[in-house]
Each structure stands twice: as structure tokens, then as C-alpha cells.
């Protein structure tokens, strides 16, 4: 699966053969340097092409909302529509559009909509404009030139539902100028070009250790997108809650969020939720999706890699953080104090 995306056409909907969507997502985490940013969209059953298009555009809009202000960094201090918030954000949006490929009126309305939490103004733009505008916003958020939407096709989807989904994906790919990768053995649309994709060696065909709780289907939102390096994941209430708590503690200085780590060039990098480089301490925040077999395999590979290279790991679930963040913070503080007082300590696993 090494750089498989290089073999796939941009701006088209295609089928990926012999691979599961979860495996592709796992292999693209952390996102390789020259790869497109990949969002995963889990479709619902629908037989109307226009309704599928509207559903996808709605999810892309939600992602753009959560990722704000990454696509207008200068707006990071504008937090509400009160006072001069709206005119200020519109000026910044139009300024950004003037020096980029963005369409100024759409970008300004989208930015204002984020502040007001009201996107009614966007309905004045045709679907084509919204598709292209949202794609540009998402690419800019990750500083990427290309965008791919990964779509696992449900096996139980009817023929009419599948036809509507494929047609909608082709339309969105064309007008949004993005790649769309559909996966699933049940895809019957002959008009889709098919590309074989092989799994990388570190992703097994079956779970490393099966558990009754492992889920066959993903748990969570309809659209999933990667975190931005240096920040808590925009869609993770647990990561944001933990960062809020750590931000009030002086001893927590030196932390970085969602950074890729590799001990040397010959090792595939892994993404660390939160870590302290100097102390070599890592904190992982696991949601229900980590029961997915591909993420489970990734977690085990990450654990072995980190432990063997002298990093200490603490793992918490979303429920741990959201249920008792003070207990989580106390555990992190204790670990950091231990590592800071024993600089000769090489590794441990918690």
C-alpha cells in the first residue's frame, strides 16, 4: 500500500478493490506528507441522488465548521458574532480569498455562518459552488493540495440506493474537484474504474487479538476527519476537555498534540495523541472506534514501538476524561513528576 494514492486519479470517483475502508484510514494515520487529506464518509440508505449530494455537502460543511479557524488562521481571536465579530470575519475571509483560489462571497458567508451557527445564507449558492468551496476550505485546513473522500458502501444497500450513491459521488468528485474512493464488495456500478489496493505489512488481515466487544461497523459520526497537528482533535470532546484542564497547570508545559513520531527513517511513523517530548511521556485517548480491528492493530503496533524506544504510555478512554478529568490529570502529573525526577529511566508501559 506504499503511496497507493499516487496511482489513483484526482477528481474522480473510483472503487478500491480488496481492501476495507477502515484499513485505508488506518494506513493513512498519520497522514503521509504528500498524500491528500482523507475524510471518511459513512453513507445512509437513500435513493435520491440530490438528497445524497445534500447529505454529503452537509457533512463537509459540519467538518469545515469544526475545523474553523484553521482555514482562516487570522480569525483565531474572533470567537462570537457579537460586536464587530461578523464584519471582522468577513473582511478576513475576503482578504484570504483575494490571495487564493477561494471564492470570496462563499468564504465570507461560510465564516459568518460559523460564528452565527446559522448557514441559511449559503443556500443562495448552487451546489456546485458549495462543493468546490468546501473542498478548498478542507484542503486549506490541512495545508494539502488534494482531498479524498473515503466511502465504505454498506453491503445491505439496495441497488437503487447504490446507484444513487455512486451517481452522487461522481457528481461531487467532478464539481468538488476531489477524489472519492468507494470500498465494498457489493459495488455493482460498472462505470466505476476499479483499482486494487494491498494492505501494508503492519496491518494484519485479522485482529491481533479478537475480543467480543470488537465492532464490525464504525461507531461515531457520519463523517470522520483527521486531527490537525499541534491541536486537540476538533471532533474530540475528550481531547478538548483534557487540554482545557492541562492549560491551567504550569507543570503541563511542553506538551504537543497529535504529532507524528518515528524513532528513525526506517520506521513507519505513528501519531501520538498527546506527548511530552523531553520527558518521553505519551497519553492516548481512546474512543469506541478503537475497538475497530484496524485501529486495534494500529494501537498494538504503536504500543510495541513506543515501549521499545523508551517512551512511557498512559491510556485513557473518552469516558475516563469526560467522567473525571481531574483524576486523569492527576495520573498524568504523577507520571511526569516521576520521569522528571528520574532522568535516567529508559522506558516503562502503563
Give the chain's domain count.
2
Residue 334 shares a structural domain with residue 249: yes
- pLDDT for 215 equals 35
Residue by residue, pLDDT tens for the chain (350 residues) are: 468 899 999 999 999 998 889 889 888 888 988 899 999 999 988 999 999 999 999 999 999 999 999 999 999 999 888 989 999 999 999 999 999 999 999 999 999 999 999 999 999 999 999 999 999 999 999 999 999 999 999 888 898 999 999 999 999 999 999 999 999 877 776 789 999 987 666 554 444 333 323 234 444 459 999 999 999 999 899 999 999 999 999 999 999 999 999 888 777 888 999 999 999 999 999 987 766 676 777 787 788 889 899 999 999 999 999 999 999 999 999 999 999 997 665 444 44
Residue 190 shares a structural domain with residue 45: yes
Residue 88 shares a structural domain with residue 166: yes
CA distance 310 to 73: 36
Are the CB atoms for 116 and 81 separated by under 8 Å? yes
Residue 246 shares a structural domain with residue 294: yes
C-alpha cell at 172: 461531487
C-alpha cell at 286: 481512546
Residue 107 shares a structural domain with residue 171: yes
259 in any annotated domain: yes
234 in any annotated domain: yes
Parent domain of 275: 227-341
- pLDDT for 203 equals 56
Residue 101 shares a structural domain with residue 237: no
Q: What is the DSSP letter of 122?
A: G
Residue 37 shares a structural domain with residue 146: yes
209 in any annotated domain: no
Residue 174 shares a structural domain with residue 254: no
CA atoms within 13 A on the CB side of 177: 13
- pLDDT for 210 equals 33
220 in any annotated domain: no
348 in any annotated domain: no
Residue 175 shares a structural domain with residue 248: no
10 in any annotated domain: yes
Residue bearing cell 478538548: 240
Residue 191 shares a structural domain with residue 274: no
Closest CA to 16 of 32, 33, 1, 35: 1
CA distance 30 to 37: 10
- pLDDT for 2 equals 60
CA distance 46 to 55: 10
With DSSP H G I counted as helix, E B as strand and the rest as coil, what are the percentages for the chain, rounded to 5?
45, 15, 40
Rounded to 10°, the helix 49-67/127-141 angle is: 30
Q: At 238, which CATH number?
A: 3.40.960.10
60 in any annotated domain: yes
Q: What is the DSSP letter of 101?
A: S
Residue 183 shares a structural domain with residue 112: yes
C-alpha cell at 196: 486494487
305 in any annotated domain: yes
Residue 172 shares a structural domain with residue 29: yes
Chain-centroid distance, C-alpha 320: 22
Amino acid at each position: 500500500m506504499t503511496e497507493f494514492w499516487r496511482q489513483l486519479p484526482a477528481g474522480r470517483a473510483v472503487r478500491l478493490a480488496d481492501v476495507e475502508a477502515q484499513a485505508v484510514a488506518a494506513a493513512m494515520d498519520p497522514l503521509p506528507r504528500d498524500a491528500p487529506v482523507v475524510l471518511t464518509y459513512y453513507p445512509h440508505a437513500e435513493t435520491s441522488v440530490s438528497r445524497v449530494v445534500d447529505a454529503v455537502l452537509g457533512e463537509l460543511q459540519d467538518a469545515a465548521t469544526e475545523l474553523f479557524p484553521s482555514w482562516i488562521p487570522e480569525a483565531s481571536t474572533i470567537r462570537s458574532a457579537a460586536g464587530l465579530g461578523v464584519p471582522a470575519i468577513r473582511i478576513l475571509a475576503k482578504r484570504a480569498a483575494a490571495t487564493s483560489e477561494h471564492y470570496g462571497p462563499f468564504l465570507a458567508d461560510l465564516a459568518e455562518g460559523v460564528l452565527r451557527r446559522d448557514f441559511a445564507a449559503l443556500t443562495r449558492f448552487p451546489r456546485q459552488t458549495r462543493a468546490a468551496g468546501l473542498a478548498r476550505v478542507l484542503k486549506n485546513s490541512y495545508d494539502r493540495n488534494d482531498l479524498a473522500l473515503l466511502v465504505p458502501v454498506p453491503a445491505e444497500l439496495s441497488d437503487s440506493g447504490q446507484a444513487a450513491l455512486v451517481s452522487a459521488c461522481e457528481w461531487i468528485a467532478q464539481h468538488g474537484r476531489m477524489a472519492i474512493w468507494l470500498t465494498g464488495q457489493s459495488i455493482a456500478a460498472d462505470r466505476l474504474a476499479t483499482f486494487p489496493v494491498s494492505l501494508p505489512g503492519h496491518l494484519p488481515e485479522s485482529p491481533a487479538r479478537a475480543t467480543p466487544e470488537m465492532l464490525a461497523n464504525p461507531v461515531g459520526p457520519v463523517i470522520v476527519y483527521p486531527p490537525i497537528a499541534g491541536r486537540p482533535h476538533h471532533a474530540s470532546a475528550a481531547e478538548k476537555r483534557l487540554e482545557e484542564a492541562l492549560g491551567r497547570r504550569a507543570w503541563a508545559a511542553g506538551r504537543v498534540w497529535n504529532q507524528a513520531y518515528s524513532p528513525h527513517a526506517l520506521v513507519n511513523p505513528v501519531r501520538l495523541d498527546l506527548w511530552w517530548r523531553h520527558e518521553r511521556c505519551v497519553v492516548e485517548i481512546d474512543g469506541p472506534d478503537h475497538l475497530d480491528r484496524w485501529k486495534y492493530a494500529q494501537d498494538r503496533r504503536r504500543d510495541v514501538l513506543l515501549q521499545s524506544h523508551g517512551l512511557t504510555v498512559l491510556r485513557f478512554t473518552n469516558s475516563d476524561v469526560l467522567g473525571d478529568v481531574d483524576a486523569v490529570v492527576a495520573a498524568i502529573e504523577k507520571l511526569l513528576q516521576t520521569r522528571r525526577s528520574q532522568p535516567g529511566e529508559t522506558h516503562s508501559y502503563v
